[in-house]
Structure 1
Amino acid sequence: MIKDKSIFIKNIYYMLSYVYTDLIQKDYKDIDVEEFDNIGDILAVILFKVVSKQVKRGLIKEYKAEKGELSVLTGKINIEKSIKLKANNKNKLYCEFDKLSMDNYLNSIIKTAMYVLVLSKDISPQNKKNLKKLVLLFSNVNTLKAKEIRWNDIKYNRHNANYTGIINICYLVLNDLLMTTEDGEYKINEFLSEKKMYSIYEKFVLSYYQKHYPSLKPRASKIKWNLDNELDKFLPEMKSDITLTSGENILIIDTKYYSHSMQKIELYNSKTIHSNNLYQIFTYVKNKDINKNGKVSGMLLYAKTNEEIIPNGEYMMSGNKIIVKTLDLNKEFKFIAQSLNKIALDLINS
């Protein structure tokens, strides 16, 4: 699927930088010189950067129940145990108290992710060295068993909201990329699953427009069914991947990441655009165009594979433009950015 692994790997770095962090660079020269051997190295670099930033902001602390022998009264005295200490000529009190600690679930996940990357043979020596320095700052934090982490139980609030991107990176490391060999060593999968890349690709395109074209109000918006009667609760929900708005003009983008971006018709030995994709974007557009003035357009934005025939074209369907476009992720990132910019500028100038 991928002709030039090194360029593709580097582009995953850029996409992850948009999706999960505020690492987006004003220019990419400092990243261009980095050679990523695998996705594990990409995540090691990102994890080092985001955790370093969080350390400067301050790692979250939570109150933990503690107890022990103290010289000064702290918290609540355990009378029975304090009397025993006095009987043994110890001039101390046995106290039960709450203490602010870095040893909490989120910090433990971060330390675990850094720890397994350090132990992996697939990570470059420099990236291991950087992470080892960070791990030392988590000396009072316990590690976890990666397979036992309860990802769905993690809750975010105003105190730990900054951890969202960091934990997402940790999830990719510990849940999607990490393998344990028969001899107990940690290995990194060469590529993320198609399902995970689908999600990253979708979020990357949205994040790109939110960063560079906020005036287009980029968002993943719900689309109401344009019904003549009352809304039926049994109708499925319609939600666009990306909606861009410029004045009266609206562009609904549906991102697609497949190993094969064209469907094969065996009977005729031919290939066509995936029919379900086309039906979906057409439905979105016609229901969004409530004024029936043709100001709403739709786009299927495929990630390019190495197939000889790739989907590209523009079609007028019942008064609305439907665009099928392919974004080549196997080029230098500046060309990817140019393609995304052209989509935005075409909408602005339409």
Structure 2
Amino acid sequence: MTSDKGIFIQNIYYMLSYAFQILKQEDYKHVAGEKFDKIHDLFAAILEKGVARQVKQGLYREYVPMQEDLSVMRGKLSINETLRLQVQREQKLSCEFDEFSEDNIYNQILKVTIYRLISVDGVAAERRQALKKLIVFFGNVKLIHSDHIAWNRLIYQRNNRNYELLLNICYLVLNGLLQTTEDGNYKLISFSDEHMERLYEKFILEYYKQHHPELSPEAPVIDWNHTEMPDPNMIQFLPRMKTDIVLQKGDKKLIIDAKYYGQAMIKNYNKETLRSAHLYQIFAYVKNMDTKNTGNVSGLLLYAKTEDEMFPDGQPFIISGNSIGARTLDLNQEFKNISNQLDSIANDYFLK
């Protein structure tokens, strides 16, 4: 029988494999077939395969700003620094230029994470040795401090798309978003985190794309349902309504807003209530998508259940003619139960 610890680790892998289709490619099949007792051993296994593949293809390079004192002119001359060199009687020019280099933030994050995993007790000895062999290929990459990484500034494009999964793994390792309970099992750490929320919503969207394509899952932007043509200079100040998941069958639509929060409920005058900002948000999405007020557009707040929290998973409310509900998705159980919960959401809304 699979242990609670093993179940949790498998769930993390399943979530990642839905969110990042690259995990279903040949290189990672060996990882999918293994059983892991330590979460960092799973992360090390994924990085080992992914980084080895990237090394074969060549580490990602980009133009990095450099400044060097050179004997010949290169790039742009730094006047002040060159004058300083002249005062010191050094016959050199201070030059600023861009160099096509592998010493960029993407490879720097990989390097510091590999070093971190090499020193973690939970990583198997053979995996640690494989990572040590890979670190040799990062000789021209600086070892940075993990606290200085600006995660929200990372941009993925065609040339570095394979890095997206790897750096998401690095984020989980470096930011300790997985903590151990008193009995030695794992759970997702219980605080709001933008990075984890993106992974959570991406997993749900991809799950529905794979298992319920008949519901045309997508994540569209909803236009504001204004009755008059607004001043074009004013419309830009309205917030962008980017949905997480929208399911549709016939003329019925369900907007799912995925929320990764430690606690879905808050105390309000000594009473447990849903977060008002979340309720206002899903209501705005629903009413602006249901432009003809048919009542065929519904909304659902789907919270990741990361704590043993009492939550009123009941019938949705009918607000201004539209169904608005809230549920939790328990991530600390066998994945087939997580799958059953997601299936039941689709069935409840479209098979009534």
- Extract unaligned runs of 5+ from structure 1: 66-98, 179-188
What corresponds to 1:127 in structure 2?
127
What corresponds to 1:284 in structure 2?
285
Measured on the aligned residues, the alpha-carbon RMSD in Å equals: 3.7
- Extract unaligned runs of 5+ from structure 2: 67-98, 178-185
- Asked if structure 1 preserves the Cα contact closer than 8 Å seen for 2:118 and 2:128, the reply is yes
Residue correspondence of structure 1 range 259-278 to structure 2 within 5 A: 259-267=262-270, 270-278=271-279
Cα deviation 1:247-276 (Å, max 9, x = unaligned): 322110011233222233444xx4233333
What corresponds to 1:107 in structure 2?
107
- Confirm whether residue 237 of structure 1 aligns to residue 240 of structure 2: yes
What corresponds to 2:326 in structure 1?
324
CA distance in 2, matches of 1:275, 1:325: 15
Residue correspondence of structure 1 range 190-209 to structure 2 within 5 A: 192=189, 194-196=191-193, 197-209=196-208
Shift of the 143–17 alpha-carbon distance from structure 1 to 2, 3 Å rule, reads: farther
Q: Which amino acid aligns with 2:238?
A: L
What corresponds to 1:254 in structure 2?
257
Q: Which amino acid aligns with 2:132?
A: K
- Confirm whether residue 296 of structure 1 aligns to residue 297 of structure 2: yes
> What secondary structure, in the 3-state scheme, does the structure 1 residue paired with 2:318 have?
strand
Structure 1 stretches of at least 4 aligned residues deviating more than 6 Å after TM superposition: 62-65
Alignment partner for residue 334 of structure 1, among 328, 333, 336? 336
> What secondary structure, in the 3-state scheme, does the structure 2 residue paired with 1:194 have?
coil
What corresponds to 2:78 in structure 1?
none
- Confirm whether residue 22 of structure 1 aligns to residue 38 of structure 2: no
- Confirm whether residue 217 of structure 1 aligns to residue 199 of structure 2: no
- Asked if structure 1 preserves the Cα contact closer than 8 Å seen for 2:316 and 2:324, the reply is yes
- Confirm whether residue 311 of structure 1 aligns to residue 322 of structure 2: no
* Deviation for aligned residue 1:290: 0.8
* Identical aligned residues as a percent: 44
* Deviation for aligned residue 1:289: 0.3
CA distance in 2, matches of 1:256, 1:190: 17
CA distance in 2, matches of 1:150, 1:303: 25
CA distance in 1, matches of 2:30, 2:51: 22
- Asked if structure 2 preserves the Cα contact closer than 8 Å seen for 1:261 and 1:273, the reply is yes
* Deviation for aligned residue 1:243: 1.3
* Deviation for aligned residue 1:144: 1.8
CA distance in 2, matches of 1:30, 1:171: 19
What corresponds to 1:170 in structure 2?
170
CA distance in 2, matches of 1:29, 1:130: 15
Aligned residues: 300
Q: Which amino acid aligns with 1:283?
A: A
What corresponds to 2:11 in structure 1?
11
* Deviation for aligned residue 1:336: 0.6
CA distance in 2, matches of 1:256, 1:107: 30
Cα deviation 1:61-85 (Å, max 9, x = unaligned): 67999xxxxxxxxxxxxxxxxxxxx
CA distance in 2, matches of 1:60, 1:235: 38
Shift of the 228–103 alpha-carbon distance from structure 1 to 2, 3 Å rule, reads: closer
- Asked if structure 1 preserves the Cα contact closer than 8 Å seen for 2:191 and 2:262, the reply is yes
CA distance in 2, matches of 1:14, 1:281: 27
Shift of the 193–349 alpha-carbon distance from structure 1 to 2, 3 Å rule, reads: closer
